[in-house]
């Protein structure tokens, strides 16, 4: 229930940023704007959080989550014409590599787009 409320607040921030900035900026601009708006809404968030990938106990890679909110939701930002399957796979892999089960893929494209992804740790 908490994640549903939280993702609702995040999506409100997404549309506020999109309505103000529109399409055409670099992803980093949207990331900074989202961080500012999320913090204005009183949410705890961090950007470019390292995510380690393990294989049988060995670290085999590291990625960086664009934004993690309240340590409950990973946000992956895009500034693409449209979302693609590989964008969704990237977010799902971030969820697999963490103990976070909920992710939002937010695209600041020609039209605003979002996808909500849930990865159940107990039933992958």
Question: Looking at residue 46, which CATH number applies to its domain?
Answer: 3.90.320.10
Kindly list the averaged pLDDT for each block of 10 residues, start to end, along the chain of length 124.
Answer: 86 98 97 98 96 93 96 97 94 93 97 93 65
Confidence (pTM): 0.92
In a domain, 70, yes or no: yes
pLDDT for res 120: 78
How far CA 67 is from CA of 5, 15, 57, 73, 124, in Å, comes to 17, 16, 26, 8, 23
Domain count of the chain?
A: 1
CB 74 within 8 A of CB 103: yes
In a domain, 42, yes or no: yes
CA distance 114 to 64: 19
pLDDT for res 45: 97
Q: Tokens for 4, please give them.
A: 């549903």
CA distance 13 to 58: 37
Q: Tokens for 73, please give them.
A: 């939701």
């Amino acid at each position: 229930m908490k994640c549903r409320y939280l993702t609702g607040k995040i999506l409100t921030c997404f549309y506020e940023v999109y309505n103000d900035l529109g399409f055409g900026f670099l992803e980093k601009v949207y990331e900074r704007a989202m961080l500012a708006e999320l913090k204005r809404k009183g949410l705890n968030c961090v950007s470019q959080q390292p995510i380690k990938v393990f294989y049988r106990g060995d670290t085999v890679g590291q990625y960086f989550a664009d934004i993690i909110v309240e340590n409950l939701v990973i946000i992956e930002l895009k500034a693409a014409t449209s979302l693609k399957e590989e964008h969704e796979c990237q977010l799902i892999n971030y969820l697999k590599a963490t103990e976070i089960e909920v992710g939002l893929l937010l695209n600041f494209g020609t039209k605003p787009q979002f996808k909500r992804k849930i990865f159940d740790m107990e039933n992958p």
